[in-house]
Amino acid sequence: MKVLILICAILFQSPCSNQEQSKLAQAKNTLQVDKESNSLKLKFTKGVSAIFEDSKGNYWFGSQREGVCLFDGKKCTYFTINEGLIDNQIQSIQEDNNGMIWINTANGIHSFSMGKIKSYNVKTDVTPKATWGKSENDLWFNAGNNEGVFRYDGQALSYLALPNPKVINPDNVYFVTGIADGKNDMLWIATYAGVFGYDGSEFTIINDETLGLDIKTEPLHIRSILEDSEGRLWIGNNGIGVLLKDNKSIVNFSEKNNLIHPTSSRRGDKSKAGTLEHVFAIEEDGDGNIWFGDRDTGVWKYDGDTMKNYTKNVGLTNEFVLKIYKDNNDELWFILADGNVFKFNGESFDRQF
């Protein structure tokens, strides 16, 4: 049973069958219900850092410091260092072609199958300085404070160093901040200092130099990336807003839409209301709308013509959006910095966890 059905039942928005009520009762015995918001409450106290819906409809929730929760529609099962994780700080959760779940933590990568966890220590169990390659079986992982990525090709894990990252801004580094699939078999790897596009044989590099940016007045500091269904590349920055690459042209989307304040430092200073300068998350919904999560100004939606801003006045408990996740039904989950998770109901936001 999907999480939405559970929430729907809790809120009494639609009648449930006897079977659904029975499953709901079982879920309530395991999951704590927040009486104030009527939302299901995980045991995490430090907040959610990752969400993933697997091919069976199970939901996996990664925490910032307390491991992983598996919700199978009936109960929550928690996994921490006590159950075999190398680290309790979860960065991402994925599934391979064989249905095996992969969990990336701050200090190691884990595969999960048949209730058993296999750990890969990134210092001892990963092939170092491997040759770049690409296949349809690949899973890609953030490599932490390294200028590269981890790749699982269906057989083994390896570390791939980024191709000769050029130091343009001495205050910036090439640590990975986002990984996204694109059209024409393109893989996009976002780092603080630039973007690397890899098609299996060649690299496309986007950085301050290729964009002609002045690092003194508008330096790149990339936090998110998305190639949408139309093949447009969206690059979210912490300071200069969103860059939009459409075919061969690249424009500052935030600046074009007057979403950078005239007094902005275009760096890490707190933004004014109504701006889109610090973009930590970007995702596309099932209708083709592009959604942005800002550090200071909440959620933004772009329908192809207009931008709309959503803040605390429509249900959000915090205006720092860390991540946006799209599930198997093309619905979006919004993870906030205060640890709460929301969904959009068409007018406002409902807290899920």
pLDDT value, residue 277: 98
Q: What is the mean pLDDT of residues 222-235?
A: 98
Last residue of a domain, one of 75, 94, 125: 125
Residue 275 lies in a domain: no
Burial class of residue 229 in the structure, from the number of CB atoms within 10 Å of its CB (0-12 exposed, 13-18 middle, 19+ buried): exposed
Residues 80 and 107 in one domain: yes
- 52 and 34 in a single domain? The answer is no
Quote the tokens at residue 234.
């969206």
Predicted model pTM: 0.88
Domain count of the fold of the chain: 2
What residues does 336 pair with on adjacent strands? 321
Same domain, 52 and 96: yes
SS3 45: coil
Q: pLDDT value at position 39?
A: 54
Q: Are residues 62 and 119 in the same domain?
A: yes
Residue 84: CATH number of its domain: 2.40.10.500
In the predicted structure, residue 37 carries a pLDDT above the cut 80: no
For the cut 70, the answer to whether the pLDDT of residue 255 exceeds it is: yes
**Among the ranges given (35-49, 82-96, 173-187, 263-277), the one the predictor scored with the smallest mean pLDDT:** 35-49
Q: Using CA atoms, how far apart are residues 290 and 11, in angstroms rounded to an integer?
A: 29
Residue 248 above 60 pLDDT? Answer: yes
Q: Please, which contacts does 242-251 make with residues 24 or more away whose CB atoms are closer than 8 Å?
A: 242/276, 242/279, 242/282, 242/292, 243/211, 245/206, 250/206, 250/211
Q: Are residues 25 and 60 in the same domain?
A: no
**HEC assignment per residue over 266-277:** CCCCCCCCCCCC
Task: Please answer whether residues 218 and 240 qualify as being in contact, where contact means their C-beta atoms are separated by less than 8 angstroms.
Answer: yes
For residue 73, tell me if it sits in a domain.
Answer: yes
Look at residue 129 in the predicted model and tell me its pLDDT: 87
**Is position 113 within any domain?**
yes
The answer to whether 225 and 234 are in contact (CB under 8 A) is yes
Residue 151 inside a domain? The answer is: no
Q: Which pLDDT score, from 0 to 100, does residue 9 have?
A: 35
Write down which residue in 98, 125, 152 finishes a domain: 125
Whether 321 is covered by a domain: the verdict is: no
Give the domain extent around 23: 1-41
Residues 22 and 75 in one domain: no
Among residues 78, 97, 125, which one ends one of the domains?
125
Quick one: pLDDT band at residue 91, thresholds 50, 70, 90? very high
71 and 24 co-located in one domain:
no
What mean pLDDT, rounded, does the chain reach? 89
Is the domain of 50 the same as that of 120? yes
95 lies in the same domain as 112: yes
Residue scoring higher pLDDT (230 or 113)? 230
Residue 28 has pLDDT above 60, yes or no: no
